[in-house]
Amino acid sequence: AHTATTAVPREILVPVLPPDAEAVAAWLTGLRGAKVELRVPQRGDKAALMDTVRKNAEEALRLHKTRRAGDLTQRSQALEELAQALDLPEAPLRVECYDISHTQGTYQVGSMVVFEDGAPRKSDYRRFLIRGQDGHGATDDTAAMHEVLTRRFKRLLAEQGQELSQEDAELVGEEGDGVALASGPIDPETGRARRFSYAPSLVVVDGGLPQVNAARAVLDELGVDVPLVGLAKRLEEVWVPGEEFPVILPRTSPALYLLQYLRDESHRFAITHHRSKRSKGMTRSVLDDIAGLGPARQAALLKEFGSVKRLREASVEQISQVKGIGPALAAAVVEHLGAQGR
C-alpha cells in the first residue's frame, strides 16, 4: 500500500517552477523523509516526457470541454446562472464574444464567436480585419474593439431595414471582409443570407473596464440595447458597464466556465487566422492594403478585370460599376494602384 511517504518521488518534473518552489520542495522533503527536487527539464528524455504530459493534459482538457459543452443540463444551468448573476431578464440564448488579437502588431484582427443555447455555432463566427484610423490598419486594442463592434452593429441595423450612409455602407462592407457567414434568414430581394440579422442576447468582450467602456460607447452611439459584460483575464472578473466593482463568479460556476469557453474559443479562432495570414505573408496582393477592400471585393475586381495590371488601367467609373464597389472605394483603388505604379 502507498503511504504519504512512498507516494512522494525524489524528483518532480514541472513545466515552470512555482514562486515558492523552495518551500514546496522542503514540504515534500518532510513528507518523504528524504530530499525531493523540483526541476524544469530542458532537454533529453525528460524534456520529451514533459512535452508528452503537456499534450496529454491539453487533449484531456479538450475532451472535458467537449463533453461539458454537449451536456444540455450543464449548458442550461450555465445560462440560468449567468442570467441571475448579471440580472438579465432571461437566459441569454445567443451570446457573441469579441476579441482583438495581433502578432507583433501585424495582421491585427477582431474575432466574433457565437454560442447559441450554450454551444458554439461555428457557422456564425466572423473575423474583422482591423482598418484603423484612415484605413492605416493596426491600432490600439480599445480603438479596434470600437471599430469591430461599430461594423457589426451597423450591419445589424442595416439588415433590420435602417438606411446607411455611403460611408457607413463601405464601413460594414457589401459581403463583409474576412470570413463570410453561411447562416441567417434569406433576403427576398438578393436571395443571399442576411448574415447579421440576429441580435445577441448578450455581448461579451475579452478584457476589463476599458474594453467594456469602448463597447458600451458603440452600443450607446447606435442606440442598440443589448446587455454587455467584459471578462478580465487576470482574476476572471466579470465587468458590467456602470458598476464600480466586478461580478465575481465562483471558480466552479458553470456560468464562469461558459464565459471562459467563449473567450478561449475566440482566441482559438483568431490564432488560426493569424497562422493563415502569416503563411500567406510573402504572397500578399497589392490590393490588401486598400481599406474596405476585403477578399470578396478583391475577387470581384479580379474576376471583372482579369489582373491587377488591367485593373490599374481602369478608370474610377469603370471600377465603380463592379458590384459592391462604390465611387469612393473605386477612387481609393485608383489612387492606391497609381501610387504603387509610380
> pLDDT by residue (tens digit) across 66-100?
666 567 788 899 999 999 999 999 999 999 999 88
Same domain flag for 193 and 221? yes
The residue from 247, 262, 279 where one domain ends is 279
pTM: 0.61
Which of 252, 279, 306 is the last residue in one of the domains? 279
Range in 118-132, 143-157, 289-303 the model is least confident about = 289-303
Between CA 38 and CA 235 the distance in angstroms is 27
226 and 325 in a single domain? The answer is: no
Query: What was the pLDDT predicted at 7?
Result: 81
Are 123 and 158 part of one and the same domain?
yes
- Please check whether residues 254 and 315 belong to one and the same domain: no
Residue 15 resides in a domain? no
pLDDT tens for residues 146-182? 889 999 998 888 877 665 555 545 444 443 443 333 3
Are residues 106 and 251 located together in one domain of the fold?
yes
Q: What is the DSSP string of 214-276?
A: HHHHHHHHHT----EEEE-TTT--EE-TT-SS-B---TT-HHHHHHHHHHHHHHHHHHHHHHH
- Can you give the residue range of the structural domain that contains 333? 285-341
**Helix or strand holding residue 56 (H, E):** helix 44-69
- The predicted model gives 305-333 an average pLDDT of 88
Q: Is residue 33 part of a domain?
A: no
Q: Structurally, how many domains does the chain consist of? A: 2
All three cell numbers of 116, joined, read 447559441
Same domain? 193 vs 273:
yes
